[in-house]
């Protein structure tokens, strides 16, 4: 795991976007196309703002997937990740993407998982832009995460810590409003990506970061799975890195 620590969230986002943009350009250069995964949440604000400004990316040759979406949340809901990605990324690109495969978990989540499997199985991922949750989840794989399922997308139950994070970030007005289930990309599918760009600001993520970097490989710390990937770049701000041993900073 290659670790970069920035002083500010803006610098962090710029560095992560630059690294990811290099992977996209390289894929387009070698195969004339690129496939990416894009995360959501407060941790990705600065990275996405910087990524849409990166020069020399032919977005018409890029296909996108996203990591997760709440069950029974319409795209019009302020917390919808489809809404988030449309407003903050897809609609703001200089040219339209070849395709972006949004997750629709409103009516039949299991059927949606099957539909997305058929698509992503034929689209090897060049760069996955992800984050780490306060409970160390990646996507919505809360602890204890399933490290073994080969299914690309699955319906998961959200634990209390995860739901409290969504409430604390202001996406919902009360805990009761936070859905108890979501469709999530699986850990194995994320790790199949050629490169992983993991952007994690804020001290509230510091314990999760320490577990991901220095702890044992364990389903109780889903982000520790990133230790198995040979091309994972972890971008932290100084607050998120505060608990790392000095040699890792």
What's the confidence (pLDDT) of residue 245? Answer: 83
What's the confidence (pLDDT) of residue 246? Answer: 62
Closest CA to 17 of 211, 197, 155: 197
Cβ contacts of 180 within 8 Å, gap of 6 or more: 157, 158, 163
Q: Check: CB of residue 101 under 8 Å from CB of residue 92.
A: no
* Number of domains making up the chain: 1
What's the confidence (pLDDT) of residue 146? Answer: 97
**Consecutive H or E run containing 83:** helix 81-88
Half-sphere exposure of residue 47, counting CA atoms within 13 Å on the CB side?
A: 30
**What is the rounded CA–CA span in Å between residue 150 and residue 243?**
33
What's the confidence (pLDDT) of residue 224? Answer: 98
Q: What is the pTM of this model?
A: 0.95
**What is the rounded CA–CA span in Å between residue 169 and residue 44?**
12
What's the confidence (pLDDT) of residue 169? Answer: 87
Beta-sheet pairing, 68-70 with 181-185: antiparallel
Residue 68 pairs in a beta bridge with 184
Q: Check: CB of residue 64 under 8 Å from CB of residue 36.
A: yes
Cβ contacts of 122 within 8 Å, gap of 6 or more: none
Q: Quote the percentage of the chain above a pLDDT of 70.
A: 98
**Could you identify the residue written with the tokens 């993407």?**
97
Inter-CA distances, 169 with 42, 54, 108, 178, 248, Å: 7, 27, 27, 12, 28
Q: Check: CB of residue 46 under 8 Å from CB of residue 14.
A: yes
What does the pLDDT look like over 19-56, one tens digit per residue? 999 999 999 999 999 999 999 988 999 999 999 999 99
What's the confidence (pLDDT) of residue 31? Answer: 96
DSSP per position, 98-112: SEEE----SS-HHHH
What's the confidence (pLDDT) of residue 129? Answer: 98
What does the pLDDT look like over 118-138, one tens digit per residue? 999 999 999 999 999 999 999
Phi, psi (degrees; rounded to nearest 5) at 124 = -60, 130
Can you give the residue range of the structural domain that contains 61?
Answer: 2-248
What's the confidence (pLDDT) of residue 248? Answer: 55
What's the confidence (pLDDT) of residue 182? Answer: 97
What's the confidence (pLDDT) of residue 211? Answer: 97
**Could you identify the residue written with the tokens 């979406």?**
69
Enumerate residue ranges in the chain where pLDDT < 50.
Answer: 247
The CATH number given to whatever domain includes residue 140 is: 3.40.50.1360
């Amino acid at each position: 795991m290659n670790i970069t620590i920035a002083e500010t969230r803006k610098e962090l986002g710029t560095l992560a976007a630059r690294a990811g943009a290099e992977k996209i350009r390289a894929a387009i250069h070698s195969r004339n196309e690129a496939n990416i995964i894009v995360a959501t949440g407060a941790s990705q604000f600065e990275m996405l703002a910087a990524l849409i400004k990166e020069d020399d990316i032919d977005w018409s040759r890029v296909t996108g997937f996203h990591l997760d979406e709440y069950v029974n949340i319409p795209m019009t809901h302020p917390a919808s990740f489809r809404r988030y990605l449309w407003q903050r990324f897809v609609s703001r690109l200089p040219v339209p993407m070849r395709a972006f495969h949004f997750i629709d978990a409103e009516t039949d989540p299991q059927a949606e998982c099957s539909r997305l499997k058929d698509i992503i199985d034929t689209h090897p991922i060049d760069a996955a832009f992800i984050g780490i949750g306060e409970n160390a989840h990646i996507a919505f794989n809360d602890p204890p995460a399933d490290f073994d399922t080969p299914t690309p997308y699955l319906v998961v139950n959200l634990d209390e810590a995860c739901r409290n994070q969504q409430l604390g970030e202001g996406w919902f007005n009360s805990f009761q409003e936070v859905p108890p289930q979501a469709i999530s990309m699986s850990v194995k599918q994320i790790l199949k990506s050629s490169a992983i760009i993991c952007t994690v600001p804020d001290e509230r993520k510091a314990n999760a970061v320490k577990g991901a970097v220095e702890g044992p490989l364990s389903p109780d710390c889903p982000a520790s799975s990133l230790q198995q990937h040979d091309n994972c770049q972890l971008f932290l701000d100084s607050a998120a890195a505060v608990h790392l041993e000095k040699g890792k900073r």
